[in-house]
Structure 1
Amino acid sequence: MKFSIITVCYNSKDTIEQTINSVLNQTFKDFEYIVIDGGSKDGTVDILQKYQNQITFISEKDKGIYDAMNKGLKLAKGEVIGMIGADDFYPSNDVLEAVNAAFDTYKTDAIYGDKQYVNPEDTEKIVRYWTVGSYKKENWLNGWMPPHLSFYLKKSVYDAYGHYRTDFTCSADYELMLRMLYKNNVSAHYLPKVVMTMRNGGTSTASWKHRMVANQEDRKAWKINNLKPRWYTLWWKPLSKITQLFIKK
């Protein structure tokens, strides 16, 4: 299967080249790499132009991160879609090969794996693991979700059930995966492998104020999909991340 890997970025000159190289160095080669830049002014575009023969990129103002992701989805021609952030990189060169093999073996519409967080100043220092575990639909009621950037989904599912909602500011990834897996019963399989490395302290973990906004949007995600969480579902979702500080591979 052909993959489409999408990165959205803005003023990311300090990290984007590592991201690009971690994608281009994958042993699995049947993919296109799409970068959606929000009109960077810091030299990011100069770096993208260095790789213009190996990637597809556009640089223009957007309406936010999820609008940019939707631009990438509209350009994508692969059968499987994966996202990688401009601050992130693959932990090994065989990630896409392993994900492709899992799709071939398990015949599901989605594959997801584990994620690790590293010190932003020393990316060799791992500070947190997100070990996700096998897929059980009922786990959503216990605050579970797969890591967004470790989540690979067939394009046909996006075509059937829609893209990211741009009326969300920070939880459209949660809403999309909830809509796909929980509401529409899209099949998924867990790949027990670290498939993404993320610098700690990104947008989704920025502050308690941000976390409160995310909690409100998480609640909105259930409501607009006519789904009912348990009373503790959306309180336990952020609290469960504390255990990631103590789980090591």
Structure 2
Amino acid sequence: MLKISVVTAVFNRKRTIAEALDSVASQDHPEIEHVVQDGASTDGTMDIVHARSRPSLLVQSQPDAGIYDGINRGIARTSGEVVGLMHSDDLFAHRSVLSWVAEALADPDIDGVYGDLDYVAAEDTARVIRRWRSGEYSQRKLRQGWMPPHPTLYLRRGVFDRLGLYDTSYRIAADYDAMLRYLVRGNLRLAYVPRVFVNMRMGGESNRSVAKMIQKSREDYRAIRTHGVGGVGTLALKNFGKLRQFL
């Protein structure tokens, strides 16, 4: 049976962490390890985490250098053959998501799997605001600004062993940088499951202010140039492509 590790890096998310934890606990795949990496929260987050203690929930709380450092620490503690993320503001869209992941990765030639994502209202997760329908992967799409929805991506742990974790010099776009590194340098073979994996609350770090959006674009451009998938045109296509998600 394929063991799947789900990593949640969290800091001061008392309002949403319970839903994220319960969402993972309700998955029907029988072999799940949930690794929670807390950045020394001070708002009562850890009280909620400890109240949901179970053998498969592995918790550590210590200061970190930000979200990607926390994710890296969490991944380093996993023992599953496959690793993915559950952000502390998000939740699975269906109780069988990880079973779909395991089914796709039953093929030994597949390095990872991803699905679709819905952006939902922060205070009403039943209300969908944007729909991210990924489509099948091909490397040529990277020059068009394409990427799989990061919260839906599950990779064999050998990918991290071979190609590294998240580059913490990126403050907002380390996920995009990592995905380009894995897909370009690693030439990964990905399976696409055309189902919604994750409901993601609106209001993430990258779009909280104009300054954050500018920083995100600068970091995206740096990743695009670093991995040789284009230039300003790729960045423009990546940003304009989001407009389709509202339709």
Note the 1:105-144 alignment, pairs <5 A.
105=107, 107-144=109-146
Separation in 2, partners of 1:212, 1:237: 14
User: Given residue 5 of structure 1, which amino acid in structure 2 is its aligned partner?
Assistant: V
- The equivalent of 2:172 in structure 1 is 170
- The equivalent of 2:41 in structure 1 is 40
Separation in 2, partners of 1:30, 1:157: 20
Separation in 2, partners of 1:228, 1:152: 22
Q: 1:105 to 1:228 in 2, by over 3 A?
A: closer
Q: Does 1:86 align with 2:120?
A: no
Q: TM-score, normalised by structure 1?
A: 0.95
Q: 1:177-231 deviations in whole A, cap 9, x for unaligned?
A: 0000123211111110100111111113323321211111112213334x24154
Q: Is the 8 A contact 2:136 2:192 kept in 1?
A: yes
Separation in 1, partners of 2:224, 2:217: 11
- The equivalent of 1:27 in structure 2 is 28
Kindly report the root-mean-square deviation, in angstroms, between the aligned alpha carbons of the 2 structures: 1.3
- The equivalent of 1:70 in structure 2 is 72
Q: Does 1:187 align with 2:189?
A: yes
- Equivalent residue of 2:125, what SS? coil
Q: TM-score, normalised by structure 2?
A: 0.95
Q: CA deviation at 1:141?
A: 0.2
Give ranges in structure 1 of 5+ residues lacking alignment.
Answer: none
User: Given residue 220 of structure 1, which amino acid in structure 2 is its aligned partner?
Assistant: R
- The equivalent of 2:5 in structure 1 is 4
- Equivalent residue of 1:104, what SS? coil
- Equivalent residue of 1:201, what SS? coil
- The equivalent of 2:218 in structure 1 is 216
- The equivalent of 1:13 in structure 2 is 14
Q: Is the 8 A contact 1:175 1:221 kept in 2?
A: yes
- The equivalent of 1:99 in structure 2 is 101
Q: Is the 8 A contact 1:106 1:189 kept in 2?
A: no
Runs of 4 or more, structure 1, over 6 Å off, are none
